[in-house]
Amino acid sequence: MGIIINKNTKAIVQGITGTQGTFHTKLMLEYGTKIVAGVTPGKGGTQVLGVPVYDTVKEALEKHEANASIIFVPAPFAADSAFEALDNEIKTVVIITEHIPIKDAINVMAYAKQADATIIGPNTPGIITPGECKLGIMPVHIFKPGEIGMVSRSGTLTYEIAASLTRKELGQSTCLGLGGDPITGLNFIDVLEMFKNDKQTKAVVLIGEIGGNLEELAAEYIANENYPKPVAAFIAGRFAPPGKRMGHAGAIIMGKAGTAESKIEALKKAGVKVAEKPSDIAEVLAKALKA
Amino acid sequence: MKLYEYEAKNILAKYGIPTPKGELATSPHQAKETASRLKPPIVLKSQVLVAGRGKAGGILFADSPEQAEKTAEKLLNMNIKGIPVRSLWIEEKIQIKKELYFGITIDRFQRNHIAIASAVGGMEIEEVAARSPEKVIKLPIKPYQGFRSYHARLISRKMGYGGNQLGMLEKIFTSLYRIAMDYDAELIEMNPIVETNEGTFIAADARIIIDDNALFRHKEFKERVAEGEFTQQEIEAMKEDLAYVKLDGNTGVIGNGAGLVMATLDTIQLYGGKPANFLDVGGGATSDKIAVALKIVLSDPNVKVLFINILGGITRCDEVAKGILEAKEKVGMTKPMVIRLVGTNEEEGKRILTEAGIFVFESMEEAAHKAVDISKQ
């Protein structure tokens, strides 16, 4: 179980012959992810780690069955790769690439919606359903199968919190990074909805950061839905100065909008337990699960 | 990337949007000549990228070429929020009947562009939205449909216009949308767009911010780093693909991943410390990158202690450890260091650092605590 990916997921890797593509294909294979083919234009007919490489997604799917793709293609070409996957009816597309132009990302997301497909990212560490499947670049030893769903806007902060959960024997159903770019395929509400319907997930960790209003909207959703599972949250960037991009293109405070304060207040109002430090999440969650 | 007002106005003019007649001047003499060509009264507008230049006295009027010369001299010797004024956009003064607002930006939640308009212009649109939200007109733009003429007419009607003014606004609004698309603008706005006494419209001020990720498609702006938007260290960091933001504390911070670094800053403050900066080395940080990061952080004389927080996903801890030692040597660093290192090849990384006499923590909180303690000594 878990959401979006599981042991039945069969994936292709777009950009498999690049340094990152090859490196992470190796790690995903080692974790047990079923990677059936790779795609790199001009490298068709070769192999990477025993995985056959094709010039186009179409050719890959003529020979193999796949329902997901993970993209490591450089930013100027990544949107094109996503369109190629979508046009071949791949329903789950993970875009690891960062710095994709906003206009391109908007077009990809609109197209994916019409195609009824799920895009994770761009600029995401990916998604992992521990013990079953990983489509991403996260280190795997910090995860273990369990009942906590995690959704985050940050990569390394997710690792930080996942590791502390695992240390406290709180395993995870699925962990996914929305992505650090301004436009992402999923937002908190989409994922909260999926966790709500997932039987394995008993509680949710939401990791937000400054910029935008996705956390506030998530808080509104949690309150309105009377969300049936406990939610714990951490918001990064409480002391960030306004007007400066804190690494992620999306992490910027504009005027009064997008501050950590506003997000924390909204979440608390919705009954979410907000942790002060990343390491507090595990404790907050353990309490909530007992209650 | 923010464009200067004159650049934005030149683009608007190229797309047929009426703008006040104007020229750029970099000296009082030039200002005088420009003023006589334009026929006073004229406006002299400082070209700086910081907000609030009007309130700071950066926009002045002149009634004669001589007065323009004197005013230009005054403005060109001014600093606006620490940024020296190097050029002036000098333009004809327009008659204002009414000030309006029209802009296009990104709606992150809906994942589309959105047109925003108001019959109340001339002040920050956020302010209008906060005070009287009913006066702000919002229209989402569907990606595969675009902003059509009828959308422009809808907005114009809501703003209270009809007759031949409808056609004028339609042309202006749709042209602005074309610019937004062609230039990959994450924000483009005319604030105000002015209705004149003759019933025509003219973009009195214009602002364009280009999506940094799309700069590879806009080579004419790619090489330029706008003055005032970033400090020298921030510019140096950008060249190396590092994200650096200067803050005003004394605890230098280097970490991997934007969220983790933000959380590190938060934790330092939680323990009563003050971070000197934000620096994200990103994924797959090599020795060279770490060295540059160290150099940038240490170039701030306020830094008393350095806290390096690395949680390896892609980043390899042994690479980081070697980078830290190499950089330490290169920079001749003598300041105390607190390092938190976990992840891929963690043991090897710790061994390298421990052998070099540097103490390594496993927990971010403990490490932050230690760094704050040192910063207060």
Using alpha carbons, select from B305, B366, B375 the residue that is nearest to residue B341: B366
Q: A108: domain CATH number?
A: 3.40.50.720
Picking from A26, A123, A239, A264 by the largest number of B CB atoms within 10 A of its own CB, the best residue to mutate is: A239
Percent of chain B with pLDDT over 70: 97
Residues of A in contact with B143 (CB under 8 A): 106-107, 109-111
Give the nearest partner residue to A106 out of B112, B217, B311, using CB atoms. B112
Same domain, A156 and A238: yes
Q: What is the pLDDT of residues A249-291, one digit of tens each?
A: 666 666 566 899 999 999 999 999 999 999 999 999 988 888 7
Residue A228 lies in a domain: yes
Residues of A in contact with B272 (CB under 8 A): none
A259 touching B (Cβ < 8 Å):
no
The lowest-confidence range among A11-20, A28-37, A75-84, B361-370 is B361-370
Please tell me the distance in Å from B314's CA to the nearest CA on chain A. Answer: 7
pLDDT of residue B285: 65
Task: Return the residue of A nearest to B143 by Cα.
Answer: A107
Catalytic: A141? no
Is B270 in Cβ contact with A102 (below 8 Å)? no
Is A247 in Cβ contact with B266 (below 8 Å)? no
- Could you tell me the pLDDT band of residue B227, with boundaries at 50, 70 and 90? low
The answer for B 271-310 residues in CB contact with A (under 8 A) is 275, 278, 280, 282-284
Same domain, A152 and A238: yes
- How far does CA A40 lie from the centroid of its chain? 23
Residues of A in contact with B362 (CB under 8 A): none
What is each CA distance from A23 to A9, A11, A49, B225, B323, in whole angstroms? 20, 16, 10, 34, 21
pLDDT of residue B313: 63
Task: Look up residue B199 and give its two tokens.
Answer: 């019933």
- Could you tell me the pLDDT band of residue B228, with boundaries at 50, 70 and 90? low
Residues of A in contact with B245 (CB under 8 A): 241, 244-246
User: At residue A80, does pLDDT exceed 80?
Assistant: yes
Residue A1 lies in a domain: no
Which one is predicted more confidently, A100 or B358?
A100
Same domain, A146 and A226: yes
Same domain, A158 and A58: no
Give the nearest partner residue to B109 out of A107, A110, A214, using CB atoms. A214
B41 cis-preceded (ω within 30 degrees of 0) = yes
Same domain, A243 and A154: yes
User: At residue B288, does pLDDT exceed 90?
Assistant: no
Picking from B260, B264, B268 by the largest number of A CB atoms within 10 A of its own CB, the best residue to mutate is: B260
User: At residue B284, does pLDDT exceed 70?
Assistant: no
A51 touching B (Cβ < 8 Å):
no
- Could you tell me the pLDDT band of residue B216, with boundaries at 50, 70 and 90? very high
B367 touching A (Cβ < 8 Å):
no
Give the nearest partner residue to B126 out of A245, A247, A255, using CB atoms. A255
Number of neighbouring beta carbons within 10 Å of residue B234: 19
Using alpha carbons, select from A183, A29, A86, A49 the residue that is nearest to residue B113: A183
Is A160 in Cβ contact with B364 (below 8 Å)? yes
Number of neighbouring beta carbons within 10 Å of residue B362: 11
Average pLDDT of the residues in A164-183? 94
* Helices and strands (H, E) in chain A, number of each type: 9, 14
**ipTM for the predicted complex:** 0.87
B164 dihedral zone (left: phi>0; alpha: psi -120 to 50; beta):
alpha
Domain coordinates of chain B in residue numbers? 21-92, 98-222, 232-376
Task: Look up residue A213 and give its two tokens.
Answer: 């209003």
User: At residue B48, does pLDDT exceed 60?
Assistant: yes
Task: Return the residue of B nearest to A153 by Cα.
Answer: B259
**What superfamily would CATH give domain B98-222?**
ATP-grasp fold, B domain (3.30.470.20)
User: What CATH number was assigned to the domain covering residues B232-376?
Assistant: 3.40.50.261
Percent of chain B with pLDDT over 90: 64
User: At residue A47, does pLDDT exceed 70?
Assistant: yes
Residues of A in contact with B116 (CB under 8 A): none
Residue A217 lies in a domain: yes
Q: Where are the strands (E) in B37-97, listed by range?
A: 42-46, 59-62, 79-80, 83-84, 88-92
Residues of B in contact with A236 (CB under 8 A): 259-260, 262-263, 266
User: At residue B116, does pLDDT exceed 90?
Assistant: yes
Q: How far apart are CA B374 and CA B357, in angstroms?
A: 17
Q: How far apart are CA B116 and CA B104, in angstroms?
A: 6
The answer for A 166-225 residues in CB contact with B (under 8 A) is 180-184, 187, 207, 209-210, 212-214, 217
Same domain, A167 and A257: yes
Q: How far apart are CA B159 and CA B162, in angstroms?
A: 9
- Per DSSP, A204 falls in state E
Residues of B in contact with A244 (CB under 8 A): 245, 278
Please tell me the distance in Å from B186's CA to the nearest CA on chain A. Answer: 8
Q: How far apart are CA A123 and CA A248, in angstroms?
A: 9
pLDDT of residue A23: 94
Q: Which of B99, B189, B195, B319 is catalytic?
A: B189
Residue where one domain finishes, among candidates A89, A120, A151: A120
Q: How far apart are CA B190 and CA B203, in angstroms?
A: 6
- Could you tell me the pLDDT band of residue B377, with boundaries at 50, 70 and 90? confident
Q: Which of A24, A99, A141, A248 is catalytic?
A: A248
DSSP for B229-295, please give it.
TB-HHHHHHHHTT-EEEE-SSSEEEEESSHHHHHHHHHHHHHTT--B-EEEE--TT--HHHHHHHHH
Q: Please name every residue paired with B160 in a beta bridge, in sequence order, or none if there are none.
A: none
The answer for A 90-129 residues in CB contact with B (under 8 A) is 99-107, 109-111, 125
Residue where one domain finishes, among candidates A72, A89, A120: A120
Domain that holds residue A170: 141-290
DSSP H/E element including B207: strand B206-210
Using alpha carbons, select from A129, A161, A195, A105 the residue that is nearest to residue B186: A105
DSSP for B302-356, please give it.
T--EEEEEEE-SSS-HHHHHHHHHHHHHHHT--S-EEEEEESTTHHHHHHHHHHT
Residue where one domain finishes, among candidates A120, A149, A166: A120
Non-local CB neighbours of A8 within 8 Å, separated by 6+ positions = none
User: At residue B163, does pLDDT exceed 90?
Assistant: yes
**Average of per-residue pLDDT values in chain B:** 91
Same domain, A110 and A244: no
Q: At B101, phi and psi to the nearest 5?
A: -130, 135
User: At residue B315, does pLDDT exceed 90?
Assistant: no
Give CA torsion, residues A215, A218, A223, A226, to 10 deg: -140
Domain count, chain A: 2
Using alpha carbons, select from A94, A80, A73 the residue that is nearest to residue A9: A94
pLDDT of residue A230: 96
- How far does CA B40 lie from the centroid of its chain? 34
pLDDT of residue A115: 97
B219 touching A (Cβ < 8 Å):
no
Give CA torsion, residues B317, B321, B327, B328, to 10 deg: 140
Same domain, A90 and A146: no
- Could you identify the residue written with the tokens 């003050």? B274
Same domain, A168 and A274: yes
Q: How far apart are CA B334 and CA A159, in angstroms?
A: 32
Average pLDDT of the residues in B285-310? 87
The answer for B 122-151 residues in CB contact with A (under 8 A) is 124, 126, 142-144
Picking from B116, B212, B314 by the largest number of A CB atoms within 10 A of its own CB, the best residue to mutate is: B314
Is A276 in Cβ contact with B270 (below 8 Å)? yes
Same domain, A180 and A283: yes
Give the nearest partner residue to B144 out of A110, A213, A238, using CB atoms. A110
Residue A3 lies in a domain: no
**Average of per-residue pLDDT values in chain A:** 94
Task: Return the residue of A nearest to B230 by Cα.
Answer: A244
Residue A133 lies in a domain: no
pLDDT of residue B53: 87
Residue A2 lies in a domain: no
Is A106 in contact with B112 (CB distance < 8 Å)?
yes
pLDDT of residue A213: 87
Q: A163: domain CATH number?
A: 3.40.50.261
Average pLDDT of the residues in B222-229? 64
Average pLDDT of the residues in A136-149? 94
Same domain, A65 and A158: no
Residues of B in contact with A207 (CB under 8 A): 259
pLDDT of residue B347: 87
Is A152 in Cβ contact with B259 (below 8 Å)? yes
DSSP H/E element including A147: strand A145-152
Residue A130 lies in a domain: no
Residues of B in contact with A237 (CB under 8 A): 262, 265-266
Q: What is the pLDDT of residues B332-352, one digit of tens each?
A: 888 889 999 887 788 888 899
Fold of B21-92: Dna Ligase; domain 1 (3.30.1490)
- Could you tell me the pLDDT band of residue B83, with boundaries at 50, 70 and 90? confident
pLDDT of residue A253: 64
Same domain, A186 and A261: yes
Q: How far apart are CA A168 and CA A163, in angstroms?
A: 9
Using alpha carbons, select from A174, A159, A162 the residue that is nearest to residue A128: A174
DSSP H/E element including B119: none
pLDDT of residue A255: 59
Is B337 in contact with B306 (CB distance < 8 Å)?
yes
B332 touching A (Cβ < 8 Å):
no
